[in-house]
Amino acid sequence: MITTTIFPGRYIQGYGAIKRLGPEIARLGQSGFLICSPTIYGKSLPAFRDEVEKYVRVVVEKFGGECCDEEIDRLHRLAGEADCELVIGMGGGKVMDTAKAVAHKRNARLVIVPTLAASDAPCSAVSVIYNREGVMDRPMPHRRNPDVVLVDTQMIVEAPVRFLVAGMGDALSTWFESESCQKKYAANMTFTGDIGSMTGYALARLCYESVLEYGLMAKRACEQHSIVPAVEHIVEANTLLSGLGFESGGIAGAHGIQMGLSTLKETHHYLHGEVVAFSTLASLFLTDKKRGVIDEVFAFCESVGLPTTLGEIGLPDVSDSELTKVAEAVLAKDNPIYNEPIPVTKEMIIGAIKAADYEGRLRRRI
């Protein structure tokens, strides 16, 4: 068996790290095409743009709102007209995925500046492509990971705390899914058919341990817009450790169930990590985890405010027919549920979702 482990070229994190953006771009080229969210364009960009332009020429374009082929093509054309050497993505997950896709099409160097710690997307070599209506279309693998991922924790704590907590929900799945892939000898997310290395699995485990250890402290500090070591640890877990763990270790049941639940439009009002958190709980029942593990994960989710019931992801009165639709989507070809080391049936998926929901509701009444 061949193992493959992949990393971003450089990961930089800390308070005021945005001051390093100019020098980091200059290491890679003399001109950058910066794609940023409208919020960043209007609020944050003026504070550091002049400093960046002391080092490199920067052309700025606002993101159009959806990571779809039409938006990627538009930005690819503008980047070509600007004749920039590298692409910079600054904002949330869809901005970053769009920047990755534009850099891939231009075969350009890439700098990612996440302004939220809401997912493990920043470090990866894949974009999730949607259609213009916001329905997921396909993953788009890329030639390489970002050359630089730069995370300013001052930006992170200024965002609503819900995003940091959602990132913990995404990170919470990393070890359980990597562990399943390890047991199954299932391929990781390098799109080469290779399996994970002991490094990838170990980082996935460290991600889980870090989230449990520092998550509640980080949430409380973030509510006060304060940066303490726990915040730095959680930002690193949500962004770097979870990114390395899912990509080099692999994904399995939690994201498989999340994909199924996302076929119900009611869940679209919730963040990716929030739906993944509940899906992780369901996957614990699906894979027959020990009672102590189930209690540990439920207690953590309750402590930071992650969903533990279907009602908390918009499905308080979900019907059996809707759950059947979810299960059928989970069992679709290429769903990562098949990376679980056990045979999975429609009835098992529905049962696991119901068991997690019942557990969550029961614990609320105790």
Task: For residue 75, give the nearest of 94, 64, 31, 284 by alpha carbon.
Answer: 64
pLDDT score of 5 more than 90:
yes
| Percent share of the chain, pLDDT over 70 | 100
Q: Identify the CA nearest to 69 among candidates 133, 144, 129, 149.
A: 129
pLDDT at 360: 97
The average pLDDT across 10-18 equals 97
For residue range 79-122, list pLDDT tens digits in order.
999 999 999 999 999 999 999 999 999 999 999 999 999 999 99
Segment 220-244 mean pLDDT: 97
Other C-beta atoms lying within 10 Å of the C-beta of residue 358: 13
Q: If you average pLDDT over every residue of the chain, what do you get?
A: 96
SS3 127: strand
Residue 124 backbone dihedrals phi, psi, to 5 degrees: -90, 165
For the segment 20-47, the average pLDDT, to the nearest whole number, is 93
**Residue type at position 304:** V
pLDDT digits (tens, 9 = 90+) for 34-58: 999 998 988 888 889 999 999 999 9
- Location of structure tokens 């696991």: 352
Is the pLDDT assigned to residue 259 strictly greater than 80? yes
| pLDDT reading at 150 higher than 70 | yes
Q: Name the 3-class secondary structure at 90.
A: strand
346 alpha carbon, distance to own chain's centre: 26
pTM for the full predicted model: 0.95
Alpha helices (H) in the chain, listed in sequence order: 21-28, 38-39, 45-52, 69-82, 93-106, 153-158, 161-184, 198-223, 229-236, 242-249, 253-261, 272-286, 291-304, 320-330, 346-365
pLDDT number for residue 138: 87
Domains, the chain, with CATH or none: 11-157 (3.40.50.1970), 160-365 (1.20.1090.10)
Question: How confident is residue 364, by pLDDT bands cut at 50, 70 and 90?
Answer: confident
Answer yes or no: is pLDDT of 133 > 90: no
Tokens of residue 323, six digits? 């759950």
**pLDDT score recorded for residue 131:** 86
Average pLDDT of the residues in 143-158 = 97
Tokens 């059928």 sit on residue: 328
pLDDT score at 134 = 76
Q: What is the mean pLDDT of residues 263-284?
A: 96
For range 156-177, the mean pLDDT: 97
Per-residue confidence (pLDDT) for residue 83, from 0 to 100: 93
> For residue 306, is pLDDT > 90?
yes
Residues 238-277, buried b or exposed e (16+ Cβ, 10 A)?
Answer: bbbbbbbbbbbbbbbbbbbbbbbbbbbeebeebbbbbbbb
Residue 125 pLDDT > 80, yes or no? yes
Q: How many whole angstroms separate alpha carbon 121 and alpha carbon 234?
A: 15
**What are the residues whose beta carbons fall under 8 Å from the beta carbon of 326, sequence distance 6 or more?**
257, 260, 261, 263, 264, 349, 350, 353
Q: How far apart are CA 227 and CA 156, in angstroms?
A: 9
Please say if the pLDDT value at position 136 is more than 80: no
Distance, CA of 71 to CA of 65 (rounded, Å) = 8
Q: Which residues contact residue 119 at a Cβ distance below 8 angstroms, ignoring those fewer than 6 apart?
A: 93, 166, 167, 170, 238, 272, 273
Residue 366, pLDDT score: 66
**CA atoms of 2 and 364, how far apart (whole Å):** 46
